[in-house]
Amino acid sequence: MMTFTLDSKLAAETFSIARLGLCDLRLMNDRRWPWLILVPQRPGICEIHELTPLDQTMLTFETGIAAQALKSVVNCEKINTGALGNIVRQLHLHVIARNTGDPAWPGPVWGHGTREPYGEKDAKAFASAILKAI
């Protein structure tokens, strides 16, 4: 039986916020966009359809919770969600706050410009606000 291990690239580029029922909720270390990552804690899973039906339901539920918390904390116009996995194959869902005029608007955030990392204090404060909103 395999155990869940977070992908090293995700671990290096994100901050932990909380463990939910299914997912590890994380903050992407790029302050240009308020950007959450949900990682289902299931080993060897690359695609949503590989999850059990119950886990798929939990992922949908937890994505909704994360999106609502993000929107309430940053008061954004739009929430983008996506599961690409072209570089990091471990299943993870992006939940990103978007606003007209943000650095990549209206295009995707992936590959746009240079990442602007959070300071540790700011990352902890943002993560705390998300956790409180949940």
pLDDT-based confidence at 2, cuts 50/70/90?
Answer: confident
| Mean pLDDT for all residues in the chain | 96
Per DSSP (E only), the strands in the chain are 14-19, 23-28, 35-40, 78-82, 93-98
- Classified by CATH at the fold level, domain 8-105+116-133 comes out as HIT family, subunit A (3.30.428)
Answer for the pair 33, 82: CB distance below 8 angstroms, yes or no.
Answer: no
pLDDT (average), residues 18-43: 97
Q: CA geometry: angle at 79 spanning 9 and 73, to 5°? A: 90
Number of residues that make up the chain: 134
Answer for the pair 36, 17: CB distance below 8 angstroms, yes or no.
Answer: yes
pTM for the whole structure:
0.95
Contacts for 111 with CB less than 8 Å, ≥ 6 apart: none
Going from N- to C-terminal start, the domains of the chain cover 8-105+116-133
pLDDT (average), residues 20-26: 98
